[in-house]
Amino acid sequence: MNPTHLEHQLKHPDREIRLQALRALVALEKPPEQGWVNNHIHTTYSFSPYSPSAAVFYARRAGLATAGIMDHDSVGGCAEFARAGAIAGMPVTTGFELRVDMSDTPLCGKRFNSPDQRSIAYVAAHGIPQQKYADCEAFLAPLRELRNGRNRRMVERLNGLAAGLGLALDFDRDILPLSQYRDGGSVTERHILCGLSRAIMEQCGRGRGVAAFLREKLGIEVSDKAEAYLRDSANPHYLYDLIGALKSGLLTRFYVDAADECPDVREFLRFVEGIGAIAAYAYLGDVTDSATGDKKAQAFEDSYLEDLFGFLKQSGFHAVTYMPSRNTMGQLRRVKALCETHELFQISGEDINTSRQSFVCPALSAPAFRHLNAATWALIGHEAAAGRRTGDGMFSKETLREYPLLAQRIPMYEMTGKQTGLCQAPPAPLKPSA
C-alpha cells in the first residue's frame, strides 16, 4: 500500500482506521534506533497536527524510544495512544494537563506559568494507570463544559475586535468542528485562533497580504521571524505559524479569565493521588525568546522559585516537568538543584502542538540531562506497575513506606520500565554542525 496514503489515513476521523494505517506503516518502515524520549506530546484531543496514532508514528520516525501523550483537559486520546504504542513496539506514558487555581495558597497573585492570568498554573497528571481513564474522564468532562462557556465568550469578544473585517466566527460552525470535542477532546484558545487563521487565509490567501492584514487591520506587531514565515506562501507550516503570530499578538485582547473550569490546586492533587498518577508542576521560567514563536518576552516563576518549590513539596506535588529547549542552562541548573533539594521527580518533555516542532530535544544528549532519560523509563515503570495495582505506583503510601528515598525508587522503576519494551541506549551527543 502507498505509504503517503497510509500517512494520510493517520488523520482519518475513525480511530480504528488510524490504528490500521499505523500497523501497516510500522510493517513498512524501520525506525532509527536513537533512544530519544518525550513525555509531553499534544494530540488532536487538545490541539495538535497529530492524532494519537500519528503522534506515535512520527515520534517513532524521529528516533524516539518512548513517547507520552499530554492533552489539555482530556484523556480522550489516551487509550488510542496506548494501543498505538503497542502496535509500534514503543512503550508509552499517558497523562493530561490542566489549569488549577492557586488563589487559596500563600502564592496567590503570582504569575506562574500561564501567560494570560495570575494565580492560575498549568499542572500535569503523569503516568495514569489505564484502568483509571474513566475516572479521569468523569473529573475532566465538567471542566471542559465550563471551559466552552468561556470559549464562547472569547469568540464574542473576538468578533467585536474584528467587526467590519469580514471575519465573524460562529463557535458551533467554525470552532467546534476543528476539535475532537464530541469524542472527549477539549477546545482551547488555539482552536479559536485556528478558526480565525482560516478566515484570514480565506480572505487574504497566503503570503505578503497576511502579514500586512495583521499589522494594518488587526494592529498586531509581527516579529521579523514570523513575517518571514508568513511571506512564504509555500511554507508547509503556514497555518501553525499564523496561529502562533495571533497567539502572541492578539490573544490578550479577547482573552477571558479562566475561573470556574480551574479546580483548586488541592482538589487536583487529591484526585491525582486517588488514581495513582503523578502530580507535576509544569515549569516555564522567564521567557526571552519563545521556542514556538507564540509567547512574548515575559517574567514568570524565576523571581520566587525557592518559595514555589517549597510550596510544591509541602502541598503534595511529587514532580516537576520541564522542557530543556525552552530554558537557559542557568535556569535548568537551578530547577534541577531545587528538585534534588526537595526530592521532586524530574520529568522532561517537549510541548509538541505545531507541525514546525521537532519531537527530539537535543539537550537530552548532554551529560547534565541524562537523568531525564532514566526518569522517563521510571515513569513508564510506574505506569506499568500502577496499572497492575494502584498501590504499586512510585508514590503510593505503601511504596513510600518501603522505599522512602526517591533515589531508591527511580532505578527500581527504571528497570521495570525497560522490561516493558526493547531497551535502547540514550542518544549520543550531537556532532557540531559544519
Instruction: Indicate whether 17 belongs to any domain.
Output: no
Confidence of residue 426 (pLDDT cuts 50, 70, 90): very low
Q: Is residue 7 part of a domain?
A: no
Q: Is the residue at 14 inside a domain?
A: no
* Short-list 350, 374, 365, 358, CA closest to 427: 365
CB neighbour list of residue 33: distance below 8 Å, 6 or more residues apart: 63, 65, 424
Query: Under 8 Å CB-to-CB from 84, ≥6 apart: which residues?
Result: 19, 22, 52, 53, 55, 56, 57, 92
Q: pTM of the prediction?
A: 0.92
Does residue 12 belong to any structural domain of this protein?
Answer: no
Give the long-range contacts of residues 331-334, CB within 8 A, separation 24 or more.
331/285, 331/286, 331/302, 332/363, 332/368, 332/369, 333/368, 334/302, 334/305
Tens digits of per-residue pLDDT, 197-235? 999 999 999 998 999 999 999 999 999 999 999 999 999
What pLDDT, in 10s, does the model give residues 339-374?
Answer: 999 999 999 988 899 999 999 988 888 888 889 999
Distance (Å, whole) CA 214 – CA 201: 11
Query: 425 is in which domain, residue-wise?
Result: 31-434
Q: How many CB atoms lie within 10 A of CB 13?
A: 10
Among the ranges given (106-120, 276-290, 392-406), the one the predictor scored with the smallest mean pLDDT = 276-290
Residue 15 lies in a domain: no
Q: What are phi and psi of 334, to 5 degrees?
A: -65, -45
Closest CA to 348 of 332, 334, 330, 329: 332
Alpha carbon dihedral 358, 361, 362, 364, in 10-degree steps, equals: -160
Is residue 19 a part of any domain in this protein?
no
Encode pLDDT of 5-63 as tens digits.
Answer: 999 999 999 999 999 999 999 999 988 878 899 999 999 999 999 999 999 999 999 99
pLDDT of residue 296: 60
Q: Half-sphere exposure of 98 toward its Cβ, with a 13 Å CA cutoff? A: 35
Nearest to 307 by CA among 105, 107, 104: 107
User: Which position has the grid cell 475532537?
Assistant: 180
Report residue 55 CA to chain centroid gap. 12
- 332 belongs to a structural domain: yes
Q: How many domains does the chain have?
A: 1
Query: Residue 274 belongs to a domain with what CATH number?
Result: 3.20.20.140
